[in-house]
Amino acid sequence: MSIDPPTGEFNLERAEFVKEAHLISELPPDSGAEIAFAGRSNAGKSSTINAFCNRRKLARTSRTPGRTQQFVVFEFSPGRRFIDLPGFGYAKVSKSKRQHWDHEIPTYLESRRSLIGLVLVVDARHPLKEQEQEFLSWCGAAELPTLLLLNKCDKLNQRETEQSLRLIRPHIDNFSDFITVQMFSATTRTGLNKALSTIADWYGEEK
């Protein structure tokens, strides 16, 4: 009896950069299944993508806030994509750019049929900012499965960790069917397996 080889469908290490896009219309065709990554600039979104894919430089991390101002598309198996959304929340961005993304991102979240989930990366050391709350309410309204990663938990002690989780609760109670929240560290990889299990579930795979 022969045993089928593993399909490798959920092998994130195979992720490759596909393209950058300024407009939704420039994204790959809206079929297959994609997960979007969102976060305030400097929250650790690029580091999180790299940790997920076990790669050091797939997504460009930067100490310069606001460098990535595109949709960045990665594919890890045919039709399965990660979309790195432009970071938000930094001051030095032109009004026209801000207006462009204030329109493009909610439209993407509402209209993209292949979007199966969203990973929102926030800095666990700070209360949710207004735009992060707004993002969560868009996801809740769209009933989009959302993984809220409280990143940089390596910087928190036990008491601060509990406080951070307590402060988040009121923001997610209304959408608790769709939102999974967990402590995470892209640097130390705390919580990585748990996070990967959540997104594997979205793809109907086992981690």
Q: Which residues bind ligand GDP (CB under 6 A)?
A: 39, 41-47, 61-63, 87, 151-152, 154-155, 185-187
Q: Answer whether 20's CB lies under 8 Å from 86's CB.
A: no
Smallest gap from Cβ 155 to ligand GDP, in A, equals 5
Q: Where are the alpha helices (DSSP H) in the chain?
A: 45-52, 95-111, 130-141, 158-172, 192-202
For ligand GDP, which is the closer residue by CB, 22 or 56? 56
Q: How far apart are CA 121 and CA 195, in angstroms?
A: 11
- Minimum gap (Å) between residue 67 Cβ and ligand GDP: 8
Coil, helix or strand for 121? strand
The DSSP output letter for 24 is G
Minimal distance, residue 185 CB to ligand GDP, in Å: 4
Question: Which residue, among 83, 90, 156, has the nearest Cα to 126 in the 3D structure?
Answer: 156
Shorter beta-carbon distance to ligand GDP: residue 61 or 198: 61
CB-wise, 113 or 125, nearer to ligand GDP?
125
Is the CB of 119 or the CB of 179 nearer to ligand GDP?
A: 119
- The residue nearest ligand GDP at its CB is 44
Tokens of 196: 């990967």
Minimum Å distance from CB 194 to ligand GDP? 14
